[in-house]
Structure 1
């Protein structure tokens, strides 16, 4: 069975494990953590970087570089153009790099020094080719600078900037062409204006896609956090419903017994007996709620694990052979705990992109194996009921829990004999606190 990354887990336990890795979503800048790598955001960021800053710098270098190296261009035009090209390329990398690492809501602010440097370099790279009547080259650097500024603006201001720059691009070439009388005023007017529109369009498209991906990723993290809060509210509501009723009745009967102590001791004693019974009932109901909240089974945890891992951007595959129904309740609970702990370790202590879950019954032994391809230096959880504690609990029922690391692969394997039945469920129970 393969679960796609679009599947979002709907259980509180899975959400808790998921939010353990996703707690950095409130920073002003997007961090590239293990979860981003698992979700493919790093690859998308790398592609966007090459598609926007990389392509833009390549365009500037190829177009202006060829003009600077042209022997027909006089030295007075080439000398200032070379450093201006370097400044424009550097400013492009810095400003667009900042834009890719900043959150779009609210829009980030560009570095004013670099933006001013880009504007000055663009003026130099526009004026010198225009003085040589190169109507197809002069507008490239200004168009890039306008597009960079537009990426930092909200949509209404962005539209005004692009409209103003497009209109303004009609004037310089037209004026120079008319003054020179070279008969190219239409080309000198329309080509630079179209170049501004095209450059802005090609630059904003990939950045818009990156912003959408970032918003979707943050929405997925927020959904996980809300699910944890919903689960806490549900559990608090269950406790309130049970304890509220019992405590109210206990308080009333205790007050009645205190009033009857002097006038009717026998009835007061009977009321206190009922209070005692109500306390026992409240304790039993509370334990039932907590046990129902904490109890886990293998089937539920396998389903939950695939959903949680998929929600974290990890390609989760399961191979579950028939036979889970043959396990007694205690064995299903123990293997479910192993499944939960292994899933938590994958989420918190790995850079995994793929995970495999294999469960089958062979030769009277239930075997569960969970592996991933992103092991870090410290993989086993050291707090709570970690792998070491679970290994002790499995040994108490003649089972075995092992884990090993081979390069970046980490595998947890649990084996539990089927002959251990419900008569022995006291064994693992001793490990619980």
Structure 2
């Protein structure tokens, strides 16, 4: 899928939240010269307006770079940008003091003072808000906001401004700077929470696989542990009897042979049970796992009366499709439908995560190759791919007429 929509659709949910957060703060930082420029428009002559805008543009450039580095630091891609943090802090303080000094003592009339006051307010407000992105401890963010507000009060008092005016400016800068700083802190917290939830979902999928492996290991241990112990004891007894040239040694070895054959049969049953998936159980499990992962899953259709080998093959299709939705897609909804047309059964799995890479669920992947092999054993076919509108569709068809028997390797 080409174009901007495809670029956005291929991103995972955490990547989308990160991109949205990043560009939101870029736009906030870039709005600083807009605020100052609108205030200067019509207030002062063009040459003076450009002169006042030059340091504002430098401040904006520092803020944009800090936003980029701070969000990379938040996502664990680079170290904390301390030098940039200090650079933006010093630049914010210097520009704010210069604007206040020029507004109180510099040349120009009331219009110039208005523009300088707007430039000072925008510089401190945006600067403090952007610096909050690069600070981990919220107490330091509070100190930063209060410190700039108190500094503004102190500077204006030293410049001869009345106490009420100084307190008004300090309160304004503290309130608006604190608002943007709080927005920054909340955005960082939300981004971290989204990444943590995504990591938890991946961990849950890995744990499900590990739990299945443990179950299989326990089954094998239960089957083989007792039988191997009996074989060891009877073999030892047969050795002792053979050394004494007792005819009972032959009987013991016959018994060992019987137990070994029985063990082989039981192992085959365990493997067959592991590899043979029950369709109804797999549908129920898929619905529970996907809903637990925050994906709306709907299952419909009847599975009663299907041959065991068909249920096993389709059960593996459901299991593989569910795994791919959890691991590779970015789906919000998933539907599983079982239809029983005359002479066959059709299993359809749809999800709206087609734009994200599906890994093994793409054509030619190892997951699909394995499913096609299983379905071919029962005369079935598999079709998978994007169906348009951001939807990924997997369709398995199995005839219910004459089929080759499903062979389960031992």
TM-score range, shorter chain: 0.7 to 0.9
1:303 matched residue in structure 2: 284
1:45 matched residue in structure 2: 18
Q: Distance in 2 between matches of 1:223 and 1:246?
A: 35
Which of 177, 186, 207 does residue 188 from structure 2 map onto?
207
Q: Distance in 2 between matches of 1:73 and 1:123?
A: 26
1:327 partnered with 2:327: no
SS at match of 1:428: coil
Shift of 1:321: 2.5
CA RMSD, Structure 1 to Structure 2 (Å): 3.6
Q: Distance in 2 between matches of 1:285 and 1:406?
A: 44
1:380 matched residue in structure 2: 363
Which of 397, 406, 409 does residue 428 from structure 1 map onto?
406
TM-score normalized with structure 2 length: 0.78
Ranked by relative contact order (alpha carbons within 8 Å, sequence separation 6 or more), the top structure is 1
After superposition, the C-alpha distances for 1:134-173 in whole angstroms (9 at most, x for unaligned) are 5565244234333433333333xx3034225414422333
Gaps of 5+ in 2: 1-6, 105-115
Q: Distance in 1 between matches of 2:148 and 2:216?
A: 63
Shift of 1:360: 1.8
Contact 1:177–1:188, Cα closer than 8 Å, also in 2: no
In 2 relative to 1, CA 173–403 (structure 1 residues): closer, same or farther, beyond 3 Å? closer
Q: Distance in 2 between matches of 1:284 and 1:57?
A: 73
Number of residue pairs matched by the alignment? 385
In 2 relative to 1, CA 387–216 (structure 1 residues): closer, same or farther, beyond 3 Å? closer
Which of 66, 77, 99 does residue 70 from structure 2 map onto?
99
In 2 relative to 1, CA 371–141 (structure 1 residues): closer, same or farther, beyond 3 Å? same
1:89 partnered with 2:69: no
1:171 matched residue in structure 2: 151
Shift of 1:354: 4.8
1:357 matched residue in structure 2: 336
SS at match of 1:325: coil
Shift of 1:429: 1.5
Q: Distance in 2 between matches of 1:379 and 1:401?
A: 12
Gaps of 5+ in 1: 1-31
Shift of 1:269: 1.4
Q: Distance in 2 between matches of 1:339 and 1:166?
A: 58
SS at match of 2:271: helix
Q: Distance in 2 between matches of 1:209 and 1:86?
A: 29
Contact 1:346–1:372, Cα closer than 8 Å, also in 2: yes
1:198 matched residue in structure 2: 179
TM-score normalized with structure 1 length: 0.74
Shift of 1:271: 1.6
2:271 matched residue in structure 1: 290
Contact 2:279–2:311, Cα closer than 8 Å, also in 1: yes
SS at match of 1:427: coil
1:20 matched residue in structure 2: none
Shift of 1:327: 0.9
In 2 relative to 1, CA 200–107 (structure 1 residues): closer, same or farther, beyond 3 Å? farther
